[in-house]
Amino acid sequence: MRILAVSDIHSDEDFAFDPEQMGIDLVVTLGDVPVGMIEVILLKKRSVPYLGINGNHDNHFVPKYANVHRKVSEVSGLKVGGFEGAPWVPGEPKSHAYSERQVSWRMLFMPRVDIFLAHNPPRGIHDRKDPLHLGFSAFRHYIEKRQPLLFLHGHVERNEETCVGQTRVISVFGKRIIDVEKPPEG
> 144-173 burial, b for 16+ CB within 10 Å, e for fewer?
eebebbbbbbbbbeeeeeeebeebbbbbbb
pLDDT, one tens digit per residue, over 3-62 is 999 999 876 665 666 677 778 899 999 999 888 887 777 777 678 899 999 999 888 788
CATH assignment of 2-179, given 3.60.21.10, 3.40.50.10300, 1.10.3720.10, 2.40.170.20? 3.60.21.10
3, containing H or E segment: strand 2-7
Helix axes 100-107, 137-146, angle to 10 degrees: 20
Q: How many residues are given for the chain?
A: 186
pLDDT, one tens digit per residue, over 144-178 is 999 999 999 999 999 999 999 999 999 999 989 99
